[in-house]
Amino acid sequence: MAEDAILGYLATHAEIPDSEQFATQHSLHHNEVVNVIKSLHGFRYIDAHDIKRETWVLTDEGKKYAADGSPEVQLFLALPPQGSISKDELQKKLDPSVFKIGCSQAGKNKWVEMGKQVSRKVQHVEDKVKDLLIRVQSGQAIGKDDINSLKARKLIVAQTWKGYSVRKGPNYAPKRKKVATDLTRENLQRGDWKELEFKEYNFNAKGPPAESGHLHPLLKVKQQLKNIFLQLGFEEMPTNNFVESSFWNFDALFQPQQHPARDSHDTFFLEAPSTTRELPEDYVELVKHVHESGGYGSRGYMYDWKREEANKNLLRTHTTAVSTRMLYALAKQPFSPKRYFSIDRVFRNESVDRTHLAEFHQIEGLVCDRGLTLGDLIGVLNDFFSRLGMSKLRFKPAYNPYTEPSMEIFSYHEGLKKWVEIGNSGMFRPEMLLPMGFPEDVRVIAWGLSLERPTMILYGIDNIRDLFGHKVDLSLIKRNPICRLGIN
Ligand code: PHE
């Protein structure tokens, strides 16, 4: 339709000066005309030039007044022709914004007497504002002063109208030639390929985007951290069990059974299977004993240790449960020093907010050797974190049931210009290590941190729900850059 009209018109006219006028004259939609112009221009059937016009359109407020009348006139009409009405009563009759604006404009126009009582000062008023708005709405021109006053009241805004002027192009023809896009078997059999005009290849066209899998930011950061641990000579621990018994998650770590973390408000316990099938019985006895009455220079917690509590299955609350199993296995063998790490998922019964989810990932490292000290821990932490690009560290004394001493780790964040907490660490207690059977001089230094925290900092994400879980925008995963830790 539009294409025939444009090409046909140009057969007898030199120019279409204005695409919109053309559209109106031919009862076409301007949008359609514009699309056809763009396409014909692309094939050089026509030459199109942009034209722009400033026009005025009504704002939402302007549209309301064009329909209902200006607030000043609405207010005027709400007043009794004779006598007066109290301001409160008048206010009740009108919309709050109409009342407010109406008072000020009608006052300015000297239409009304304002006081505790309000009354008319003139007999009749004309709604000039409404008339002007209706004229703008229907595309009629209005004076400069009127434009300025409507603009000042935010009843109209400027809008740039875009259209085209059009002339014949170098490939002009009154009808577009159908070009073939494919050479078919029929073309060859009939021999009509000799007459056919073929569409040219467009070497600038983009091909369909290549679809492929994408790594989630957490996986990228995890891989980098793995590399760092491997460079430092750490072995990865097997973390492929989300379900753990309370025994390995808490008891073996010398975490007392009445500790608040063992409450169902903090930990997810399993309904089925609700208890573990087996635990190493002789070791369980030693753990029970150290909780109840200590040993190895400790007084223990002096309470009645319950096997049923230790049997309860849960979703592991920290990867330290994995470290504990590994240390127990290590203690069974003739002693040799070890460095272990793990990075995997843990679960806590937390209320979800911008920085907390009920499941997240922990990074954990430990070093086990004879005669290690707190100095070794600080040294290893400096070594590890400087490879993540965090070389300014500070430590603050902390408490964990299974480590003594314990330290929270802080790093100076250059972007935020403050110290942020990045992890937790400590030396495992003798009450944990000695029942496992380690020689007395063996010490284990360990630390843990979340994978989400550094990932959010690295990728500039401030709401954890944008990073992980069902609300994540897939394009975040498709487009996020590679991760190079420690390199700015
Ligand atoms: N398990 C601790 C936590 O959940 C981290 C930690 C690991 C602390 C090892 C000390 C030693 O935060």
Nearest CA to ligand 1 atom 2: 448
Which among 436, 442, 437 has a CA at the least distance from the CA of 368? 442
**Average pLDDT in the 339-366 region?**
94
**Which pLDDT does position 139 carry in this prediction?**
84
CA-to-CA distance for 347 and 356, rounded, in angstroms? 11
Residue 479 is predicted with a pLDDT of: 85
- 178 Cα to the center of ligand 1, angstroms: 72
- pLDDT score at 195: 87
For the chain, the straight-line distance linking the first and the last C-alpha, in angstroms and rounded, comes to: 58
The number of residues making up the chain comes to 488
**Of 36-40, 247-251, 483-487, where does mean pLDDT reach its minimum?**
483-487
Least confident of 50-54, 309-313, 433-437: 50-54
pLDDT at 247: 98
Going by pLDDT thresholds of 50, 70 and 90, the confidence category of residue 55 is confident
How far does residue 304's CA lie from ligand 1's centre (Å)?
A: 26
Does the pLDDT value for residue 336 go beyond 90?
yes
Q: Is the model's pLDDT at 228 over the cut of 70?
A: yes
Q: Is the confidence at residue 486, as pLDDT, over 80? A: no
* 408/425 Cα distance (integer angstroms): 6
Overall average pLDDT of the 190-198 stretch: 89
Q: Is the per-residue pLDDT at 115 higher than 90?
A: no
**Average pLDDT, stretch 232-255?**
97
Distance 480 CA to ligand 1 centre (A): 30
Q: What is the mean pLDDT of residues 185-199?
A: 91
pLDDT tier at 355 (50, 70, 90 boundaries)?
confident
Give the per-residue pLDDT at 389.
84
Whole-angstrom Cα distance, residue 390 to residue 485? 10
What type of residue is 351? S
Cβ neighbours of 140 (radius 10 Å): 9
CA of 424 from ligand 1 middle (Å) equals: 6
For residue range 404-427, list pLDDT tens digits in order: 999 999 998 877 788 989 999 999
From the CA of 406, give the closest atom in ligand 1: 10
pLDDT of residue 62 exceeding 90: yes
Q: HSE of 283 in the Cβ direction (CA atoms, 13 Å)?
A: 24
Write down the mean pLDDT value for the chain: 93
Predicted confidence at residue 441, as pLDDT, reads 97
Beta strand 418-428 with 442-450 is antiparallel
Q: What is the mean pLDDT of residues 27-39?
A: 94
Find residue 366's DSSP bridge partners.
340, 446
Check whether 488 has a pLDDT greater than 70: no
Q: What is the DSSP letter of 295?
A: B
Q: Which residue has the higher pLDDT, 161 or 382?
A: 382
Report pLDDT for 391: 86
What residues line ligand 1, using a CB cutoff of 6 Å?
Answer: 318, 320, 364, 400, 403, 424-426, 446-448
209 preceded by a cis bond (ω within 30 of 0): no
The Å distance, Cα 245 to ligand 1 centre, comes to 18
For residue 470, the surrounding DSSP H or E stretch is none
Which of 266, 314, 316, 318 most suits a substitution to test ligand 1, by most atoms within 8 Å of the C-beta? Answer: 318
- Whole-number pLDDT of residue 114: 87
Please give the C-alpha separations between residue 192 and each of 113, 179, 195, 199, 201, in angstroms, as whole numbers: 89, 13, 6, 15, 20
Substitution site in 320, 327, 362 for ligand 1 pocket (most atoms within 8 Å of beta carbon): 320
Q: What is the pLDDT of residue 291?
A: 97
Please identify which residue in the block is written with the tokens 């109106």: 24
pLDDT band at 196 (very low <50, low <70, confident <90, very high): confident
Q: Are 196 and 177 in contact (CB under 8 A)?
A: no
Pocket test of ligand 1: the residue of 249, 364, 367, 432 to mutate, having most ligand atoms within 8 Å of its CB, is 364
Q: Angle at CA 221, nearest 5°, toward 220 and 225?
A: 120
Q: Is the dihedral of CA 323, 328, 332, 336 positive or negative?
A: positive
pLDDT at 402: 97
Q: Binning pLDDT at 50, 70 and 90, where does residue 487 land?
A: low
Over the stretch 287-328, which tens digit does the pLDDT of each residue have? 999 999 999 999 999 999 999 999 999 999 999 999 999 999
What's the 425 CA to ligand 1 centre distance in angstroms? Answer: 6
Paired residues of 317 in beta bridges:
none
- pLDDT of 17 > 90? The answer is yes
User: pLDDT above 90 covers what percent of the chain?
Assistant: 76
Among 244, 395, 424, name the best residue to mutate to test ligand 1's pocket (greatest count of ligand atoms within 8 A of Cβ).
424
Please state whether the predicted TM-score (pTM) of the whole model is above 0.75. no
Which pLDDT score, from 0 to 100, does residue 484 have?
A: 82
